[in-house]
Amino acid sequence: MAKVLVVYYSLYGHIHKLAEAIGEGASSVDGIKVSIKRVPETLSNDIIEKMGATDIQQKIKSTVSEVSLDDLTNADAIIFGTPTRFGNMCAQMKTFLDSTGSIWSRGELFGKVGSVFVSSNTQHGGQESTILTFLPYLFHQGMIVVGLPYLFKGQTIMSEISGCSPYGASCVAGENSSRNVSQNEIAGAFFQGKYVALITKDISNNREKYFKTLVSLNN
């Protein structure tokens, strides 16, 4: 079985819903095992209460376990989900990524598939910049980057407001993050999960071969 890990942070639940759809898309491919994990929280309970997210946080924390460094090492693909914070990834995700230096130094994510999905309140509030500024992490880890191709037809709809771009699935959470994730956004997330899983299934068996061949070039 090739392993797809979905790892995310979600304060109000939108990324959580997209993560579930991504997981379903990946699970729909034979021979793929999916796990969904969350990055550790960095905000105090007091701040979370002030942000009006206590209930949803309790739900997420009681159903989704925290990611470990071993989860990353053991996966064949990692799909990262983050809400936009001022056009970039959230601090919780960045703090977690900054804890992965030991993995980088051993080349443990080399040749694994990496992909990103996001959400923002507003249509033009930084979904694409959040993914684009996430990508250097994937490249530094030597990952194979996969987005959401225009093969996903929901990408071009004009009949409703929708997230999703060639860079990855996304949702527009609306004012005060009060809008539900739309069916089209869920479909984009499912598509991305399936696309990552299909690619992962094909390449994961050869990762060690590439790694050894390339490392030997240094000798």
Ligand X SMILES: Cc1cc2nc3c(=O)[nH]c(=O)nc-3n(C[C@H](O)[C@H](O)[C@H](O)COP(=O)(O)O)c2cc1C
What residues line the site for ligand X (CB under 6 A)? 10-15, 83-87, 119-122, 125-126, 173, 177
Closest contact distance (angstroms) between CB of 120 and ligand X is: 3
Say if CB 4 and CB 34 are below 8 A apart.
yes
Neighbours of 158 (CB within 10 A): 6
Closest contact distance (angstroms) between CB of 209 and ligand X is: 38
Strands (E), 17-164: 32-38, 77-83, 113-120, 144-145
The H or E element that residue 171 is part of is strand 170-172
Pairing of strands 113-120, 77-83: parallel
Closest contact distance (angstroms) between CB of 55 and ligand X is: 12
Distance between CA atoms of residues 41 and 61, nearest Å:
10
Residue nearest to ligand X (CB): 125
Of 111 and 168, nearer to ligand X (C-beta) is: 168
Of 120 and 200, nearer to ligand X (C-beta) is: 120
Closest contact distance (angstroms) between CB of 165 and ligand X is: 14
Q: How far is CA 154 from CA 49, 159, 171, 189, 210, in A?
A: 36, 10, 12, 11, 35
Of 37 and 201, nearer to ligand X (C-beta) is: 37
Of 64 and 144, nearer to ligand X (C-beta) is: 64
The H or E element that residue 71 is part of is helix 69-74
Closest contact distance (angstroms) between CB of 21 and ligand X is: 13
Of 119 and 192, nearer to ligand X (C-beta) is: 119
